[in-house]
Amino acid sequence: MAAYRVPNPRKPHIERHARRQTLAAGVVGFALLWGLVGIIVFTADRAIPREHLPWKALALIDPVGASTKIKAARAGEDPAACREILAQGGIEYTEVPAAAGGICVITDTVRLTSGLAPLSPRDAPMTCREALAFSIWERQVVQQAAIDELGQAVVAIDHFGSYACRRQYGKDEGPVSEHASANAIDVAAFRLADGRVISVALDWKDPGPRGRFLRRVRDGGCRIFLTTLSPDYNAEHSDHFHLDMGGWPKCG
């Protein structure tokens, strides 16, 4: 028969020492983790271009990067910050008075007056966040694609409108369009310095430079605007690009 053994008595000083060791290990581990995070951030801050870093301030001179869309959306929510970025980028604008009526509300709205290829027609009120995204798109996508693919700068951009008090697709019921708050613009064509006009309706299917230009412009829009719709999306967009800064991200 096995001998009966009395359990070891509790040793409080050993238990306290073990708890202190566990706590110390946790503190050291936490400090090492945050130290590693700090090293990663420090390295990224110096090695990665600013357009890819969400904590870097947005500027119109920056190429489009991985963080451009989120930075544009974030800056657009702050009226003062949005206007400061436009001004620092050499974009001039006038303020549009707030207004409301029925399903339509206009707030934080501007008209771009200079610093970009002029819009035609010129009366195109846009929320500041839409104007900011549009400015980045024109500067960093449209002009570069035009030079690369067509050998000419864009000197004017034709559009079908930015503000329209209506629901989506002009229906009597359903979601309110982003146009109802001037948070969208429908771009129809691009006029080049040599007089050529590149039209979404006529040139989208072109296999040559005109079509390549339009596809680059659409793809670039998807990296800046929250919603970018083209003829590839549906028949209702066969003749224009819909570009807006509202709702869920969508590219088509």
Over residues 21-55, the pLDDT tens digits come to: 666 556 655 555 555 444 444 444 556 988 889 99
Entry pTM: 0.82
Largest CA distance in the chain: 108
- Across the range 89-93, mean pLDDT stands at 98
CB 159 within 8 A of CB 188: yes
Q: Which of the 8 DSSP states describes residue 51? A: G
Two tokens, residue 245: 């800064």
Alpha-carbon separation of residue 54 from 45, 69, 134 (angstroms): 10, 9, 19
CB 122 within 8 A of CB 156: no
CB 200 within 8 A of CB 214: yes
